[in-house]
Structure 1
Amino acid sequence: MAEVSMCSSSGGAELSPEEERIMIRDIALAAEANSKDGDAFYLITQRWWQHWIEYVNQDQSNSINDASSLSEHCDSVGSSTLKRPAGIDNSDLIYDAASEDSNMGVEIHDTLLEGRDYVLLPQEVWSQLYLWYGGGPTLARKVINSGLSQAELAVEVYPLRLQLVVMPKGDRSTIRISKKETIGELHRRACEIFDLSMEQVRIWDYYGHQKHALMNDMDKSLDDANIQMDQNILVEVINHGNNIALGGSMSSGHDNGTAEKEATSVIVEPSISSLTIAAGFPGNKGASRNYSMELVQNQNQPTSNRESDNAYGISGVTTRGSPCGLTGLLNLGNTCFMNSAIQCLVHTPELATYFREDYHQEINWKNPLGMVGELAMAFGDLLRKLWAPGRTSLAPRPFKAKLARFAPQFSGYNQHDSQELLAFLLDGLHEDLNRVKHKPYIKSRDADGRPDEEVADEYWANHIARNDSIIVDVCQGQYKSTLVCPVCDKVSVTFDPFMYLSLPLQSTTTRAMTIIVFTSDGSMLPTTCTVTVPKQGRCRDLIQALSSSCSLKHNEKLLLVEVCQFNFLMLSFLSNQADIIK
């Protein structure tokens, strides 16, 4: 994935800082203008890059913090005379260079952020800096196209990290591979790592240690196959065309490139090792042997049904007689923000009914503002799975992959704002399901003193003439806005549509107070009592709360005493019940 080079290769006459700045700026301008899918970019530590920027901009007058592109960085300024930087040192980006293996390359920390920890340089810029300064290690990353309908180029800083699991031997190896690589390339690399021939191996999506789908479409990308970061890939070794089974028994079906004829067999699969590291950090590197084995019995059910369910990672645990809709969503990393929004939508009665019926008739396939129906179909499929009877949980991987294709900001497995995702999802579903195929132009009329109900109905009719979907029916309303001209006193009333209401979080209005209660006759030991009173409460509020907590009798009463300075026993009686509690 990355090559390591630590030699110094500074050669030729040393240029002045200004000459270096101009040369790198010109190279960066040309490289940024011609970036394309498949180009290589290089990570360089922010610390070293910042030093170099200040070194070459000592005589300039702009601020480095205002520079947004690489070429602008080269025109930003330093402040005082600085020494020429030493060789490039990317060691602070490296996770564990000492344990590097041939399959993983040099691993970088999982929590790096561009602009804070590193800068991405085009290959031409890196090559020139490396020629001048040397150092390393070299950390190359590829540009990929993450867009669907149009090109959206991005540098894949973190390619997929997959653990290959060989059956029946139990060997394992962790690799890095781009999500845009094909299943065929993954197949080839797996065979190369474990020294197997292509003909005797087939690979499975083994998410959650369950066989989900046979990966036999060699031209399909891993992204399209919904392969996720840090998941397992099962490398199944076929002996003379048959599955290797426990005790040498063979399954009777022949592999025809699909899973249609797979017979029920007892397969030896590795158990989950204690070496597995959660949260995406590399644990066991390289191939390891002698894993403990467990017997897993494949369920004898039609493959079409099995693959349909397992595409969503549906749990094999079934519950008899449980109500429909009580199905959980498994987290894919830190995707609880997505799962909570999905559960809110799928349990909205109107939406649940709509998507369980024939909603396909209302998909607007040609809406330029929509997602050609793909988001609606992915959501509808997920909703139907969640409402299917007898299931306990499923992993929304196909929906997550589809969401990331249309909204790259939700790619990966980090935490995001749930409301931002909900807003994108509702907008996308609305456009995919908009019943209006040709939007007319409508000019709104002024209220001119007409009744609010009449004006509101007119504005709503104008709105649904352009926007009419199940999302509008269920999730949209109207704001009434009134503007008064301070000069002529003309009143303008409009009714604007809305889908989200921003409400302030209510501040805490109460506080807890701990009181020591004494009896006047000393018949009981002092006791501590904690009560809740209004923040701006008065003495009467405290007395009421204490009376209830202490279960006072009708002939008993409370006197409040404030201890001002405990060391000197300075007491203050609070006799006025209207006084505010300090």
Structure 2
Amino acid sequence: NIPLCLCVIMAASSSTGSATEPPGLETQWREIDNLNQQQLRAGDSWYLLDKRWYDQWKEYVHAGDQNSSSYPGKIDNTELYEDLDSYHLKERLSENEDFVLVPAEAWHKLLSWYDMMDNQPPLERKVVDLPSTVKVEVYPVEIYLCLSSNMESTVSIRQHFNVSETAESRLWMRSTDTSSERLRNLNMTILDSCLSSGMVKYTHLPFTPLNSGHLLCYDSYRGPPGVCGLTNLGNTCFMNSALQCLSNTPPLTEYFLRNSYLEELNFTNPLGMKGEIAEAYADVIKQMWSGRHYSVVPRVFKTKVGHFASQFLGYQQHDSQELLSFLLDGLHEDLNRVKKKEYIELRDADGRPDQEVAEEAWRNHLRRNDSVIVDTFHGLFKSTLVCPECNKVSVTFDPFCYLSVPLPVSKERVMEVFYVSLDPTAKPTQYRLIVPKAGRVIDLCTSLSQATGVPPNQMAVADVFNHRFYRIYQADESLSCILDRDDIFVYQLSSGCVDQDGEEVVMAIYMRERSHYRDYGSGSNNYGTSLFGHPLLMSVPRAQCTREDLYQLLLKRLAAGVEPSGKEEEDEDEDEEEEEEAASCAQANKRLPGRLRNTEKQKKALFTIQAVNSNGTTERGMGEVDAQPYIAIDWDPDMKKKYYNENEAEKYIKHQSMDVPHQQITVQLQECIELFTTVETLEEENPWYCPTCKKHQLATKKLDLWSLPEVLIIHLKRFSYTKYSREKLDTIVEFPLR
């Protein structure tokens, strides 16, 4: 472990301050995009990048403007870490939703151009060769080795334990805190053995496993058949829940316990798995219903599933319905009584009675598909299509194995925002608002207006990320482009009092701290800057856009963070360093637009004001103040420490709306089924070819449940998709037990 830790520390420290001058924006995009096209090769390194940072970088390079507000800053993977002490990767992160993967060469280019947040280690992962595929192993298996007599020591194995090469040795996998399982096949790969992140205990005779007493207890366990747990092999709760549901389906379980499956195993079906899935499933069911086990470890079954469906390899979480669908299909094909499937030509209904057409469709289905799965779980849909032009009605009957019903989607959405008042002594307040799901930013302001009494047209909405404005929204923009995880700030801009000309400028204000360094080429002291705190949006009368007026306005605006004693002061004993600082400020003053320049001798102030670009870096040669300028409040570290209370300035309070739990919507299962059977119009991407009109039509379609199976599987479609995001629906669905 020690060399590995050293490598991580070196990589983290070497990334800081190593950014080089990047090429042009178009060149950046072309180079990274070309590198991202390369194929995965076993052994190669790929790196995880925070999706939000990567999207901001893409927006920045596509804007084609070095001064764009979407400048991403240093690479920041903070949202991917469990905590900032161990920098351990969060569980259950999703590719292209939480992170993106880039090859090593692309990573090193981005790192050299943008640098990385201090002390963050790069998230390097290897490409591994799996059955039928290669993939980046985002969550490698973490195995700790210890001698069974010393659970605290996790160093190495035989030679480190000073165990003779001739001594009989054994490996045990700790499944839970109270049970272990012996790893008998030492030639098996880690993948095939389904080792999960945990601990392997190494024993040599005459030692016995630490939990041998528990193991003997389990071997002699007698309990109700079927009342049996399934050990989690990592994030395999999705698999275990599906297995428990099927285990408690009497017709299917009795079929396997009676060994009826042995006579019906289909080893020649090209669509099946040579009977291996059926045999592995039968083994699990027999163990669970033997009454001899408190819990069962479905390791062999997990291995078989991963062998035939590579998406279930590894230990990431997956969709339980997807696993159930694969398993039922696999069991059906492994147990299909039809050994040779015949071709069947479908006939049109031609006005025949539904009953006749349905019976014909079911007979045709059984001629190709006949198994215990069909007997237990298959039913018939009735599908009715009506042409909008000639009113041609087409009725078909289609078999189904499970019913995927939609959930009524709420037309409202709950959003949490931070409201920043004009009152400089008032702390930001967090509100929970209910807004129209298909609404616009102005609707968010209207909802907040009802709680604050401030008119919506005096508010500005912005997404704050990494101490800068990631995006400032227009009133007519759709709320769907704002994600739930975004930090949304709503600023009160003005009280409606404007100057006699009626002109106001909305200013974006960043907080920066200076860090001095010496330019040995010129011999002068210069300084770099780093952003901190929350940025501000202020509406300022154009006549007050001079440096002196702005300084006073900002001083009042920062009242919540500036100590009472913090006021302009003269220091008659300015030392050499302060003189150099004043000279530096004078130089910065010359680079400001004319309206922001100082016309009097610069006093010793709490902070200085700089005109900056939208990403918070000082830009030379800027023109006059535009419709929404960006400025920075630059603090000297000593002045900031003495007069600015950062902790106080960043405090916020929670509005009572945050204490009221959001009322969860409850629907009946019957409502979901009725929604499933509602008449709908086909989408343009999926038209129906009308045999009468001889062209594709956007027909109306209605699904009905014609015949139900003995056991009906109902799948709730809990995800709603938009152009910008995938939303999980937390609607409670009540279903009858009888």
SS in 2 for 1:478: strand
SS in 2 for 1:212: strand
Q: Are 1:49 and 2:45 an aligned pair? A: no
Q: Equivalences for 1:80-159 in 2 at 5 Å?
A: 80=68, 85-86=73-74, 88-90=75-77, 93-95=80-82, 107-135=88-116, 137-146=121-130, 148=131, 150-151=132-133, 153-159=134-140
Of 50-59 and 35-44, more deviation after overlay is shown by 50-59
Distance apart, 1:17 and its partner CA: 2.6
Aligned residue in 1 for 2:284: 382
Q: Distance in 2 between matches of 1:506 and 1:330?
A: 35
Aligned residue in 1 for 2:29: 21
Distance apart, 1:371 and its partner CA: 2.8
Q: Equivalences for 1:142-181 in 2 at 5 Å?
A: 142-146=126-130, 148=131, 150-151=132-133, 153-173=134-154
Residues 159 and 414 (structure 1), Cα distance of their counterparts in 2 relative to 1, 3 Å cut: closer
Aligned residue in 1 for 2:200: 233
Q: Equivalences for 1:99-498 in 2 at 5 Å?
A: 107-135=88-116, 137-146=121-130, 148=131, 150-151=132-133, 153-173=134-154, 190-191=157-158, 200=167, 201-208=169-176, 209-218=178-187, 220-230=188-198, 232-236=199-203, 238=204, 243-245=205-207, 267=208, 269=210, 296=213, 299=216, 315-316=218-219, 318-319=221-222, 323-332=224-233, 335-356=236-257, 357-410=259-312, 417-482=319-384, 492-498=394-400
Residues 27 and 331 (structure 1), Cα distance of their counterparts in 2 relative to 1, 3 Å cut: closer
SS in 2 for 1:224: helix
- TM-score w.r.t. length of structure 2: 0.47
| Structure number with higher relative contact order (C-alpha < 8 Å, ≥ 6 residues apart) | 2
Distance apart, 1:159 and its partner CA: 0.7
Q: Distance in 2 between matches of 1:363 and 1:58?
A: 61
Residue type of the partner of 1:7? S
Aligned residue in 2 for 1:275: none
Residue type of the partner of 1:204? W
Aligned residue in 2 for 1:514: none
Residue type of the partner of 2:68? S
Q: Distance in 2 between matches of 1:83 and 1:497?
A: 54
Q: Distance in 2 between matches of 1:194 and 1:96?
A: 33
Aligned residue in 2 for 1:555: none
Q: Distance in 2 between matches of 1:373 and 1:79?
A: 63
Residues 12 and 115 (structure 1), Cα distance of their counterparts in 2 relative to 1, 3 Å cut: closer
Residue type of the partner of 1:329? L
SS in 2 for 1:355: helix
SS in 2 for 1:172: coil
Q: Distance in 2 between matches of 1:14 and 1:336?
A: 46
Residue type of the partner of 1:118? F
Residue type of the partner of 1:234? K
Aligned residue in 1 for 2:14: 7
Distance apart, 1:41 and its partner CA: 0.7
SS in 2 for 1:402: helix
Distance apart, 1:53 and its partner CA: 2.9
Distance apart, 1:110 and its partner CA: 2.9
Q: Distance in 2 between matches of 1:110 and 1:337?
A: 15
Q: Is the 8 A contact 2:377 2:401 kept in 1?
A: yes
Q: Distance in 1 between matches of 2:386 and 2:99?
A: 53
- TM-score w.r.t. length of structure 1: 0.58
SS in 1 for 2:368: coil
Residues 190 and 458 (structure 1), Cα distance of their counterparts in 2 relative to 1, 3 Å cut: same
Q: Distance in 1 between matches of 2:93 and 2:387?
A: 53
Q: Distance in 2 between matches of 1:497 and 1:55?
A: 50
Of 193-202 and 163-172, more deviation after overlay is shown by 193-202
Distance apart, 1:381 and its partner CA: 1.0
CA deviation profile, 1:244-300 (whole Å, cap 9, x unmatched): 34xxxxxxxxxxxxxxxxxxxxx3728xxxxxxxxxxxxxxxxxxxxxxxx84874x
Q: Equivalences for 1:462-541 in 2 at 5 Å?
A: 462-482=364-384, 492-502=394-404
Structure with greater proportional strand content: 2
Q: Distance in 2 between matches of 1:268 and 1:157?
A: 32
SS in 2 for 1:57: helix
Q: Is the 8 A contact 2:139 2:316 kept in 1?
A: no
Q: Is the 8 A contact 1:330 1:395 kept in 2?
A: yes
Question: What is the root-mean-square deviation in Å for CA atoms of aligned residues?
Answer: 3.8
SS in 2 for 1:368: coil
Of 128-137 and 407-416, more deviation after overlay is shown by 407-416
Distance apart, 1:500 and its partner CA: 1.8
Q: Is the 8 A contact 2:53 2:72 kept in 1?
A: no
Residue type of the partner of 2:255? Y
Q: Is the 8 A contact 1:203 1:216 kept in 2?
A: no
Residues 465 and 90 (structure 1), Cα distance of their counterparts in 2 relative to 1, 3 Å cut: same
Q: Is the 8 A contact 1:54 1:79 kept in 2?
A: no
CA deviation profile, 1:511-565 (whole Å, cap 9, x unmatched): xxxxxxxxxxxxxxxxxxxxxxxx9xxxxxxxxxxxxxxxxxxxxxxxxxxxxxx
Q: Distance in 2 between matches of 1:449 and 1:46?
A: 55
Residues 14 and 145 (structure 1), Cα distance of their counterparts in 2 relative to 1, 3 Å cut: closer
Q: Is the 8 A contact 1:364 1:431 kept in 2?
A: yes
Residues 442 and 268 (structure 1), Cα distance of their counterparts in 2 relative to 1, 3 Å cut: closer
Q: Distance in 1 between matches of 2:111 and 2:57?
A: 13
**Stretches of structure 2 lacking an aligned partner (at least 5 in a row):** 410-666, 668-738
Q: Is the 8 A contact 2:92 2:316 kept in 1?
A: no
Q: Is the 8 A contact 1:96 1:107 kept in 2?
A: yes
CA deviation profile, 1:410-441 (whole Å, cap 9, x unmatched): 55666655444332221221122222233221
Residues 21 and 233 (structure 1), Cα distance of their counterparts in 2 relative to 1, 3 Å cut: same
Q: Distance in 2 between matches of 1:92 and 1:482?
A: 48
SS in 1 for 2:142: strand
Q: Distance in 2 between matches of 1:447 and 1:96?
A: 63
CA deviation profile, 1:11-40 (whole Å, cap 9, x unmatched): 8765233333322233333xx2x3222221
Distance apart, 1:96 and its partner CA: 6.1
CA deviation profile, 1:65-84 (whole Å, cap 9, x unmatched): xxxxxxxxxxxxx9926668
Q: Is the 8 A contact 1:202 1:216 kept in 2?
A: no
Residues 449 and 110 (structure 1), Cα distance of their counterparts in 2 relative to 1, 3 Å cut: closer
SS in 2 for 1:233: strand
Q: Distance in 1 between matches of 2:318 and 2:26?
A: 42
Residue type of the partner of 1:229? S
Q: Distance in 2 between matches of 1:486 and 1:89?
A: 54
Distance apart, 1:358 and its partner CA: 4.6
Residues 47 and 199 (structure 1), Cα distance of their counterparts in 2 relative to 1, 3 Å cut: farther
Q: Distance in 1 between matches of 2:351 and 2:79?
A: 69
Q: Distance in 2 between matches of 1:358 and 1:16?
A: 69
